Amino acid sequence: MKSFIFKTIIFSIILAVTYAYFVNKLSEGYVDPYYNKFSQEAGGLILGLSRASEGISPEVIENELSSDNFEKPMVNFAMNTVQSSYGEIYLEGIKKKIKPNAKKGLFIVSISPGSFSAPLGMDDTNVYNMDKEGIIGKVDNLTSLPNYSYIINTYSQPLYNTLHDLNKWEHYIPHQNGWNEVTENGKFQKMKESDIKHWKSLTIRYYKRKIKKEQLSNYRLNHFINTIQYLKTAGNVFIVRLPADTDIIALENSLWKDFDKQIDSISKKYGVKFLNYSTLGDNYKTYDGSHMLSKSAKEFSKLLSRDIKTNLTEK
């Protein structure tokens, strides 16, 4: 009996040490698309869904607005509809990310109808519970590097993935500041126009299914307003609608009639600027109709920075 207990203890120790080794090893390389967003305190934030995650570069924003002395670093904390739709959980995560007592931050709050959607028939409590099951709801520490809490609580792949990077798309470059850059030229091949056309068709198919299964959520809209009000206490806030393919924007607008008009009304009521670039889709190249490629993302980030500077000067 003593021998069995001793062997069990030894086995458990070996298992724990092995697990700790792989967790640490994983933290030194590529974890997943969102890990870098949870690895530092932020002076300013880029918020919203995947269009902002891939379409706004914090580095470009910092460089273009270097003379304005905003709090740094600027962190891209945008993710996707599962992780970062506006709600109580996302707002609590935002509060944990921002440096204590920040007063001169810059906050780019990106929006689209998808930012305010929830499954049909889902009430506020269930929307909250659904958000709680996302990354922000599972991770207590949102500012550490390495962030073992993130890996332990959210990593769903086998830990032997530490030995390779096969889960990483060759066109994908995750930056430490949270920006997920997508390049046209991958490690082994360049994106084909036929692929881009096909991926756009998949995006359109996805949006058409989404429109049938989801509804606008007053819970999300109310917490969007709460988010704006909170961020105003920590710095300057800009609501931004990013460009996308005209077909994609048309589908979004079919989900929410007069979306731009209503967001503009909210921005005026709460004293923040709404910068709407949704009609500029022809000026920026996407790889799927919705998400900008690297060059376009950098160009758009420069345009956004100039408009922010202009509005701050006028203000």
d(CA 267, CA 74): 22
Residue labelled with tokens 């509809």:
81
Q: Which residues contact 36 (CB under 8 A, 6 or more apart)?
A: 174, 175, 176, 177, 178
Could you give the percent of the chain with pLDDT greater than 70? 88
> How far is residue 124 from each of residues 84, 88, 132, 219, measured CA to CA in Å?
16, 10, 12, 6
Q: Which domain holds residue 124?
A: 2-314
Partners of 46 in beta bridges: 76, 108
Nearest residue to 44 via CA among 139, 178, 147: 178
CB atoms within 10 A of CB 100: 6
d(CA 100, CA 243): 33
- Per-residue model confidence as pLDDT tens digits over 261-298: 999 999 999 999 999 999 999 999 999 999 999 999 99
Residue labelled with tokens 């902002």:
52
Asked if residue 285 lies in contact with residue 241, where contact means CB atoms within 8 angstroms, the answer is: no
Asked if residue 199 lies in contact with residue 248, where contact means CB atoms within 8 angstroms, the answer is: no
pLDDT recorded at residue 92: 97
> Rounded mean pLDDT of the chain?
90
Tokens of 59: 């580095």
Q: How many domains would you assign to the chain?
A: 1
The CATH number of whichever domain residue 287 belongs to comes to 3.40.50.1110
Cis before residue 146, ω within 30 degrees of 0? yes
134 φ/ψ angles, rounded to the nearest 5 degrees: -80, -175
Q: Which range is least confidently modeled, 22-26, 114-118, 242-246?
A: 22-26
Predicted model pTM: 0.92
